[in-house]
Every structure is written in C-alpha cells, then in structure tokens.
C-alpha cells in the first residue's frame, strides 16, 4: 500500500526522483520549475542527499554531471531560458555518457516569453538544442500521476543507457493539484558498473548492448571522461575519423536499437477510428475530452497519447496512418510535433495541426472542430 | 616532520603518468609541462591517495593536462571545470579534486564559477596556468593579458585592464590564495602542495610562458625571454611589503597571499552539519 496524497506536478517530480534513487540536485531558481528545487532542498538532506543552488543554470548542469561521475543518481530542473543556457552541457552528458535527468517545465517562449504560462515549445529544442548529432530520450507526462511515473522512468532510463533523459512537463502540470498514490517502492535501475579489474577497464567499450559499464570516480579505475571524440579507453580521438564515426553510431544505436524500452503510449477508441487525435502532455487532456465529445456525436474518433516524445515513435504513427483518414495533432506551439507526424505519415492520411502559442491550454472545442 | 627521500623523476613518471602518452602536444618552451611536473610533485609530497584524487580540466592548452596523467579525470567544455569539480566534491567529499585551468578558462568564460566556488569555500584546488593568452586558439587576449600587449585580437595593443585573479579570489572568499611562477619551480611545488593540504577553496595562480602565441608577438620570443620577464616582474610577498603602490605597479606578488585555517567553515563540512540538522528534524 502506498500513500495517497494530493500534490502538484512539480511535487510529483520530486517524489518520483527520490523514489528512483536520486540523491543529488543542483539548480537555479526559474519559474515555473522552482518548486522542484525547493522540494529537493527540503527532502534531500534528511536522507543524506545533497542539494546545491548554483550560481547559474550552466553551473547547475555541470554540477550534476560531476556528481553523477562520483556515482550518484542526479536530477536537474529548469524552464525555457534555463534550458537554452544548459544546452551546451547537455551535449557533454550525452557524449561523455554520464547519466543525468533534467526536467523542463515548459513555458511560453522564445526568450522570457510568458514566464508563468504553459507551452509545449521545447519539443525541438529537446531534440536538437545541443549542437551536433546525438541521441535523445524525452518523456512528457499529462497528469500529476504521470509526473511521478515518468520521472521514475526517466531516472531509470538515464542509468540504463548512460545518457541524458528529459522530462518535459509544463506550467499547467507544475501547479496542478491531483490525487496520486505514491507507492512504497518502485522498480529502480542502476547504471552498469565494471566487473573487470581496473587494468582491463574500458569506459567506452563497445559492448553488444551498446552501453559500456561506468566506474565511479574514486573507485580506483582511473579513467578519462572526455567531451572530445574519444576511443574505447576515453583517449582523445579528435583526428581519428573511423573512431569518431564508430562512437557516433554507437551513441545513436544504443537508444534506437532499444526503442521498445523507451516507447510509452496509450490508445483509446482506436478499433474503428477514422479520425485520430495524436497528443501529448497537458494538451492530451483536452484532446481526450474532444475525442469523447466527438464519439458522443457519432464521429469515429480515436485517441493516442504518447508519453515518449523522443525518440519519435515512428512505428506507432505509421500504424495509425495505415488505418486513419485524418490525424489531428494539437500542441501548444506553432507546430513542432506535427512536422514529424507529417514526415512519417508521408501523405497516407490527412494531417491537421491545431497549434497556438498564447499561454492558453487548447480547449477541447477547438480540437473537436478539427476532428469534424 | 620526518624527512622523506625525494623520489626520482622515473619513479614519479611510473606512478602518476600514463604510459605511452608522450610526447605532449605542447610547443617547445611552453611552461605548462613545468606546471604539471610541479603539480604531480605536490600531489606526491602531500601523499594523496591515488584512487581518491581526480583531475578536472576545461578547454585550452591547459585543458590537456589530464591526458598525461593516470588519475580519474574529466576533460569537458570551456569554462565549466569548476562546477563539475563542485559536483564531484559535494557528491563524494572524500575525493581530492584538483582543477588545472588556463587564464581564459578560469577568468573569462568560467569567471563566475571561480568566484562562487571561492565564496562557498568548497575544498577544491584550482590551479590557474596564466600564460597571458588564449594559446590554443592562436593567441587572443584574455582577462589576464597585460594592458598594451599585442595579440591576434588586439593588433593595435590591448586597451583592457587585466584582472588580479588572486585579489579577486581573495575578495570572493577563497581561504588559500597563492601566486607562483614557472621561473620558481621549487616554490611552485610548495604553493600547490599547501593549496592541496588546505581545507577550503584554494587558488594557485602560476605565471607561465607561452612563447609561441604570446611571447613572439610581444618582443619576448623565447622561453628564456619570458622567464627573464617573470624574474624582473615578480616580487616576493615579503619584499612587496616594503614597496610603495607606485613601485608595485605592473609587478606580480608571488608567494602565499591568503591562508586562513578554518576547516569547519569548509563547504562540505558545513553540509555534513546541515544533514545532521535536517535529520534531527531541523533543530540544531
Ligand atoms: S600555444 Fe602557448 S600555451 Fe599553448 S602549448 Fe604552445 S606555447 Fe604552450
């Protein structure tokens, strides 16, 4: 039996992170993600964990990278402007393969935008924000319960794949209060650690799984964590084309070859659906209501809620396109996700975008219009 | 103190340097190799446990220092070595965290992190190799480049004032601040060793020579010229006390500038007390 409680999405992220084993948080105040930092500052010390408020967003990201290298499970949280500031450092976690989880509470951008208003405008920033090619896992909850569950999943996936994982929430979920059951314990994953003696250890070994074991700094393995292109031992490979190419492909494949482990979605009313609404995050709440209204009117509407934003669930969208006549994509941005849907659908169905950036949750009626 | 036999260079190499990593990438006459040798001697002198010692570097000619040593090491992006070091130290206070950086890395792009690490008084040892320039990118002026210097981005002479990084660290709250120079190798080992021993934030600025990208543009084309320049432009802490501000203008004071012993005021020590307080329900 867990504990039933009424909490906000931000608080649920804190609870999820702690349940997953996060024991280090570094952050900088920014609306609307600040309550996550506040929660961590209150919850971590009593259990021996560490919270530190850094001098800026960039420092915060680099600080959790350092703590993760020391062997702790780590979390960062921010919102749009902070996300932009952290972007270079995201690439470090990805290329250096340092497990980190970062929650982005999306608000209206660009720039300062509308600090307290919800948006879903960081979809593409999450995918391509840091320069160069890189893998990415990004999950988006649509309820307080999912804030908890997906934060747990994100921390687990970061450890499982030795990478950076994003949780994209938004300013609605941040302060939305819902009843959730916090389980007494959750399934947790620890990063693979080396089993060989230090002399044989390769921190970037090409394993069948694609994920090399990671030794904690201070554990006697004496390895290099490198943000340059590197070989299996972590040594500089900045002039070795074949080594760089092998590394880039391994980083991509370690995620893409395990897509089933990182793809989460749910479907409703899909058996005979002719019009399918494909939604994520807070918008999925309106979308589901709209589909229900459509069904009441006798329209054969279906609902797909994806929790996995990246890697893009291509197989899922492709399957929808085979049967549906129309796919409606509502999102609080000017049409970011819909581009990807169009690309995968490739003319097999009509793709309709319902997009707005004014800090207002798209009302069900607007989505219903598009369904009709 | 018991007298310990000085280890031979070959012994030091076998113990701390990565096999087959030589020759280094540094230009002939560069001072960085000298700083590394002093740093390793200092680590050995203090007797740090090898497994517990980590080296964190940023970008630039000094960023490659880790590459010749066999410690756990982080080589990351420009300017961010210090926050990574803070994360490592706070996550595992047992670690000895040593952070060699260049002048650009530590005082320009990473300047904010330096002052805040000093303010927190977290027990990491920052070693700034001050070669007056961004050597790796071809010799641009940095915040530590002397005014008037010719660099690739100040072809008509640098009109900016330079930082006194030691004064900056002192003002920010560093509890150990020292300045050395590659000309005074023996002293440099002692300064770094004392910085490592010190419980709290330590900054050791080492004036180093970059003949290739800095010296040759400033009528100091060889390492010998630059070392002579160091000799002429540095004064010891003791001598500085006898000199007027006028006489000290343009001179670098070398030696131990700050050494405040207050181990219980160190950040991770404070954090341990915070945890105890939080565990007892917030009551101290
Ligand atoms: S450019 Fe200057 S600092 Fe860099 S390796 Fe050459 S001499 Fe040394």
pLDDT score at B284: 57
pTM of the model: 0.97
Distances (CA, A) of B72 to A100, B69, B207: 19, 9, 26
Which CATH number belongs to the domain containing residue B147 in this structure?
3.40.50.970
List per-block mean pLDDT (blocks of 10 residues) for chain B, which spans 284 residues.
74 94 95 98 97 96 96 97 98 98 97 98 98 96 97 97 97 98 97 98 98 97 97 97 95 98 97 97 72
Domains of chain A as residue ranges with CATH: 3-182 (3.40.50.970), 265-371 (3.40.50.920)
The confidence score (pLDDT) of residue B283 equals 67
Q: Is residue B62 part of a domain?
A: yes
- How high is the pLDDT of residue B183? 98
Q: Please list, in sequence order, all residues whose beta carbon lies within 8 angstroms of the beta carbon of residue B37, skipping any fewer than 6 positions away.
A: B185
Number of A/B CB contacts below 8 angstroms equals 130
State how beta strands A308-310 and B234-236 pair.
unpaired
Q: Which chain A residues are Cβ-neighbours of B56 within 8 angstroms?
A: 66
B76 domain-assigned = yes
Q: What is the pLDDT of residue B146?
A: 96
* pLDDT number for residue B2: 54
What is the predicted pLDDT for the residue at B6?
82
Ligand 1 centroid – CA A177 distance (Å):
58
Please state the atom number of ligand 1 nearest to the C-alpha of residue B26: 5
Q: Does residue B83 sit at the A interface (CB-CB below 8 Å)?
A: yes
Q: Which two tokens stand for residue B207?
A: 């004036």
The predicted pLDDT at position A24 comes to: 99
| Domain count across chain B | 1
Measured in Å, residue B65 CA sits from the centre of ligand 1 at: 12
Query: Is B256 domain-assigned?
Result: yes
Which DSSP string do the residues of chain B spell out, in sequence order? Answer: ----PPPPHHHHHHHHBPTT-PSPSSPTT-SHHHHHHHHHHHHHHHT--GGGEEEEE-SSGGGGGGGGB-SEEEE-STT-HHHHHHHHHHH-TTSEEEEEEEHHIIIIITHHHHHHHHHHT-SEEEEEEE-SSBTTTT-B--TTSPTT--BTTBTT---SPPP-HHHHHHHHT-SEEEEEETTSHHHHHHHHHHHHHSSS-EEEEEE---TTTTGGGTT--SHHHHHHHHHHHEEEHHHHTTS-HHHHTT-EEEEEEEE---GGGSHHHHHHHHHHHHHTTT--
CA angle B106, B107, B110 (to 5 degrees): 55
Structure tokens, A322:
């085979």
Q: Does B49 touch chain A (CB under 8 A)?
A: no
Tokens of B227: 């070392």
- pLDDT value at position B281? 85
Interface probe, candidates A44, A58, A70, A71, chain B, greatest B C-beta count within 10 A: A70
The partner residue sitting opposite A89, judged by closest CB among B70, B77, B116, is: B77
Per-residue pLDDT of chain A (372 residues), as tens digits, is: 689 999 999 999 999 999 999 999 999 999 999 999 999 999 999 999 999 999 999 999 999 999 999 999 999 999 999 999 999 999 999 999 999 999 999 999 999 999 999 999 999 999 999 999 998 999 999 999 999 999 999 999 999 999 999 999 999 999 999 999 999 999 999 999 999 999 999 999 999 999 999 999 999 999 999 999 999 999 999 999 999 999 999 999 999 999 999 999 999 999 999 999 999 999 999 999 999 999 999 999 999 999 999 999 999 999 999 999 999 999 999 999 999 999 999 999 999 999 999 999 999 999 999 999
Query: Across the interface, do B72 and A89 touch by the CB < 8 Å criterion?
Result: no
| ipTM associated with this complex | 0.97
Q: Which of residues 191-230 of A touch B (CB under 8 A)?
A: 216-228
- The whole domain housing B153 covers 21-279
Q: Which residues line ligand 1 (CB under 6 A)?
A: B 26-27, 30, 32, 61, 131, 135-136, 210-213
Q: Is residue B252 part of a domain?
A: yes
Contacts of A50 in chain B (CB under 8 A): 90-91, 271
- At B282 the pLDDT is 77
Residue B6 located in a structural domain: no
Among B212, B216, B223, residue to substitute to test ligand 1 (most atoms within 8 Å of Cβ): B212
| B14 domain residue, yes or no | no
């Amino acid at each position: 039996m867990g504990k039933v409680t009424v909490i906000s999405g931000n608080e649920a992220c804190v609870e999820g992170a702690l349940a997953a084993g996060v024991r280090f948080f570094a952050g900088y105040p920014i609306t609307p993600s600040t309550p996550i930092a506040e929660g961590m500052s209150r919850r971590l010390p009593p259990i021996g964990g560490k919270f530190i408020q850094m001098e800026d967003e960039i420092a915060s990201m680099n600080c959790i990278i350092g703590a993760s290298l020391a062997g702790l499970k780590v979390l960062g949280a921010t919102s749009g402007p902070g996300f932009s500031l952290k972007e270079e450092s995201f690439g470090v976690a990805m290329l250096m393969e340092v497990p980190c989880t970062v929650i982005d509470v999306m608000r209206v951008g660009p720039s300062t935008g509308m600090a307290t208003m919800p948006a879903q405008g960081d979809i593409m920033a999450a995918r391509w924000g840091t320069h160069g090619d890189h893998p990415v896992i990004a999950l988006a909850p649509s309820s307080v319960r999912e804030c908890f569950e997906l934060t747990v999943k994100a921390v687990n996936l970061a450890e499982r794949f030795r990478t950076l994982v994003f949780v994209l929430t938004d300013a609605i979920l941040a302060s939305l209060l819902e009843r959730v059951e916090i389980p007494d314990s959750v399934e947790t994953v620890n990063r693979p650690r080396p089993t060989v003696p230090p002399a044989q250890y390769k921190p970037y070994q090409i394993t069948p799984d694609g994920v090399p074991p990671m030794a904690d700094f201070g554990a006697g393995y004496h390895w290099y964590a490198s943000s340059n292109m590197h070989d299996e031992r972590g040594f500089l490979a900045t002039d070795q084309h074949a080594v760089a190419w092998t590394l880039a492909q391994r980083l991509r494949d370690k995620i893409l070859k395990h897509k089933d482990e990182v793809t989460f979605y749910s479907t409703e009313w899909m058996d005979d659906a002719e019009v399918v609404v494909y939604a994520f995050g807070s918008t999925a709440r309106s979308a589901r209501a709209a589909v229900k209204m459509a069904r009441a009117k006798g329209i054969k509407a279906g609902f797909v809620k994806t929790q996995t934003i990246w890697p893009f669930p291509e197989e899922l969208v492709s399957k929808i396109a085979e049967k549906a006549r129309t796919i409606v994509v509502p999102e609080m941005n000017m049409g970011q996700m819909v581009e990807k849907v169009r690309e995968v659908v490739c003319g097999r169905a009509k793709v309709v975008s319902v997009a707005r950036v004014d800090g207002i949750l798209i009302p069900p009626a607007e989505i219903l219009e598009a369904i009709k | 103190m018991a007298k310990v036999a000085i280890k031979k260079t070959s012994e030091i190499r076998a113990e701390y340097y990565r096999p087959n990593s030589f020759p280094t990438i540094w230009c002939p006459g560069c001072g960085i190799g000298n700083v590394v040798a002093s740093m390793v001697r200092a680590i050995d002198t203090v007797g740090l446990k090898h497994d517990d010692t980590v080296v964190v570097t940023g970008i630039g000619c000094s960023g490659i220092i880790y590459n010749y040593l066999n410690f756990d090491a982080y080589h990351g992006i420009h300017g961010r070595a210090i926050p990574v070091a803070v994360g490592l130290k706070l996550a595992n206070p047992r670690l000895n965290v040593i952070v060699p950086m260049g002048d650009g890395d530590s005082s320009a792009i990473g300047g904010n992190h330096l002052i805040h690490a000093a303010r927190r008084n977290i027990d990491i040892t920052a070693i700034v190799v001050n070669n007056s320039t961004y050597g790796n990118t071809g010799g641009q002026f940095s915040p530590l480049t002397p005014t008037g210097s010719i660099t690739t981005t100040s072809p008509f002479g640098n009109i900016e004032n330079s930082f006194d990084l030691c004064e900056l660290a002192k003002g920010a709250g560093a509890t150990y601040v020292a300045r050395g120079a590659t000309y005074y190798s023996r002293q440099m080992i002692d300064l770094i060793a004392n910085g490592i021993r010190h419980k709290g934030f330590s900054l050791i600025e080492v004036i180093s020579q970059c003949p290739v990208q800095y010296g040759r543009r400033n009528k100091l084309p060889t390492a010998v010229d630059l070392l002579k320049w160091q000799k002429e432009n540095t004064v010891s802490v003791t001598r500085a006390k006898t000199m007027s501000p006028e006489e000290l203008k343009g001179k670098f004071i070398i030696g131990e500038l700050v050494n405040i012993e207050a181990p219980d005021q160190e950040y991770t020590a404070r954090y341990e007390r915070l945890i105890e307080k939080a565990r007892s329900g917030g009551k101290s």
